[in-house]
Structure formats: C-alpha cells, structure tokens
Amino acid sequence: MKNVLIIGATSTIAIACARLWAEQGANLFLVGRNQEKLQQAAADLEVRGAQSVTTYIMDATIFSAHGHMLETCLAKLSQIDVALIAHGTLPDQKMCEQSVEVALEEFTNNGSSVIALLTALANHFELQRCGTIAVISSVAGDRGRQSNYLYGTAKAAVSTFCEGLRARLFKVGVHVMTIKPGFVDTPMTKGLPLPTRLVASPEQVAERIIKGTEKKVDTLYTPSFWALIMLIIRTVPSFIFKRLSL
C-alpha cells in the first residue's frame, strides 16, 4: 500500500494519476488551493478504492506554508512513498513581455515554487532514505521558443534542478523523476491551436507517470514520441532556430 503526496492535486493530470493510485488502494494526501475541487476529488477517489484521502489547502507560491504542509502530511502518512508535484500555470507570453510583475509571478508559479517545495521534500526524503519524488516539468524547457520562453525558462530551471537533485538523492536510495509532457488535453490548453495527432489524454499521461515511478525512470517524455521530437528540436543550429516561428 503506497502513501502518496500530490501537490497541485486538482490539476487534470494529477487527478488522473490519483485515480490510478486509488485503484491500487493507496493512502492519498491531496494539496491544492481550491477546497471545493479537493473535496470533490477526495469523494471520487474514495469510491475508486483509496484506503484514505486527506485534503490540505495551500497556495504553493506561499513558501512559508510548505513546512507546515509537510509536517501535517507526515503526521497523517508517517512515510511518503511517492511525492508528485503537479501544480503550474500556462502564462500569456505577450503579457509576460509587457510586465515584469506578470513575468516574475508566472516564473514563481512554474519555477521558484517548485524548487522551494523540492528543497523541503528533498531534506525529508534524504532522512527517510527511500521513496520517489516525481515532478511535472515540460518539453517546453528543452529549448527556448519565442512563443513561450517565460514558461520554458521556468520549466528548464525545474528540470535542471531535478537533475542535480537526482544525483544527490540517488546516493541515499531516493529516486527523482522529471516528467516532460508534450501537448495534453487539459483546461490549461483548451482553445490553443494544437496539432491533434500530438495531443495526449490526461489518462494516457497518468498511466506512463505511474509506470515511470515504478520503473524508476529518470526523465519521462510523455507520450514517448516527444523524446524524438525534442531531440530533433535541440539539434537545430541556433542560426536557423532563431529564424523559426516556434
């Protein structure tokens, strides 16, 4: 029976993951900002077979709240087998270009808050000496594209942080998995002109995340074809890349 902490638990991908863990009879500790959505998710997960579901209200961008959340989680679960960080926003790149305040706020949502949480979690897992930390980053962090480089910058920071953290915690038996989804059919991407063949369902992504945690995958591109797509994009020379409208 797994004890699972999910931060950003009301996101579409997080809920899809939680449902799979619930079917395994896991104990779930759900963290999010919206109490109503958390309660709805908890009721659904209990019906699906979760051993227990606890909800906790927290805004991940309030760094001072992280410590108490972790203490409360440990008081309930004793040990965390899997921690999934799944919160984030999809910023308006044009607004970020026009406003320093908006740019920094979005970087905090997608980058700094994740790094702050990872720092607190890492120190606990280092003492625990077992378990998995899974973090949703993005393929957008693999290269800076003009259409979303603020978001990509934040995700690149998260991915690099995870890589270093993975090396640190590997030595004490803790695994860190970086999750890099491509286009996923979620409310966050609704209305965007995305190529249909490249868009995955949250359920498809969740299934790969669960399997990835079990197999201790280091970097998980999901769907898997994004690994090839991003390999090609990373190898495009800069003098060509800067002329592309990506």
Residue 14 confidence (pLDDT): 98
Q: Name which of 86, 173, 96, 90 is nearest 136 in CA terms.
A: 86
Residue 157 confidence (pLDDT): 98
The secondary structure of residue 67, as a DSSP letter, is H
Residue 245 confidence (pLDDT): 85
Residue 12 in this model has a pLDDT that exceeds 80: yes
Q: What's the CA gap between 243 and 246, in Å, rounded? A: 9
In sequence order, what are the beta bridge partners of 237?
A: none
Q: Under DSSP, is residue 191 helix (H, G, I), strand (E, B) or coil?
A: coil
Residue 211 confidence (pLDDT): 98
Q: How many beta carbons lie within 10 A of that of residue 55, not counting itself?
A: 18
In sequence order, what are the beta bridge partners of 32?
A: 57
Does a cis peptide bond (omega within 30 degrees of 0) precede residue 223? yes
Residue 193 confidence (pLDDT): 66
Give residue-wise pLDDT tens across range 90-118. 999 999 999 999 999 999 999 999 999 99
Residue 214 in this model has a pLDDT that exceeds 80: yes
pTM of the model: 0.95
What is the rounded average pLDDT for all residues in the chain? Answer: 96
Percentage, residues of the chain above pLDDT 90: 91
Give residue-wise pLDDT tens across range 13-53. 999 999 999 999 999 999 999 999 999 999 999 999 999 99
Domain coordinates in residue numbering, the chain: 3-241
CATH number listed for the domain at residues 3-241: 3.40.50.720
The secondary structure of residue 143, as a DSSP letter, is S
Residue 187 confidence (pLDDT): 78
Which residues, in sequence order, are CB contacts of 46 under 8 Å at separation 6+? 22, 53
- Residue for token digits 């960080």? 85
